[in-house]
Amino acid sequence: MVFQVIDNPDFNKFRARAGFKNAEFRLLAGLFSRAASAKALMDMAVDVDFEEGTCTISYYKTQYEPYLSFVVRHVGPRTTMYEVYKTEKGQLVKSGLFQRAFERLEQEIEVLMPPVI
């Protein structure tokens, strides 16, 4: 029995790359822009820790304490986890899918915004 590895360099072109993408950050920034224009949120801060492999996007209702935090955590060579934390409640969601964590964050922020008439 012969074990032979077949390497196709074109395969890497089609493989989904793990990690936090620019389009995902734009969705988070756009969500803040909508909430800030409705005066539901006051500020947004981004903190990146390269040693731990985390990126924290914090949303502020007041200038002293973050109300919601969206954490991107690199946990493996091809695995990224997305977490949403709320002040005084703790972790709301932890998922390997960006869209799932983003939807929960969006729900929490939409509660703060006034209804559109």
What's the confidence (pLDDT) of residue 94? 94
Q: Name the more confident of 6 and 110.
A: 110
Whether the predicted pLDDT of 2 surpasses 70: no
Closest CA to 24 of 74, 58, 70, 75: 70
Whether the predicted pLDDT of 16 surpasses 60: no
Contacts of 40 (CB under 8 A, 6+ apart): 61, 109, 112, 113, 114
Domain extents for the chain?
A: 41-117
Closest CA to 55 of 65, 38, 34, 70: 70
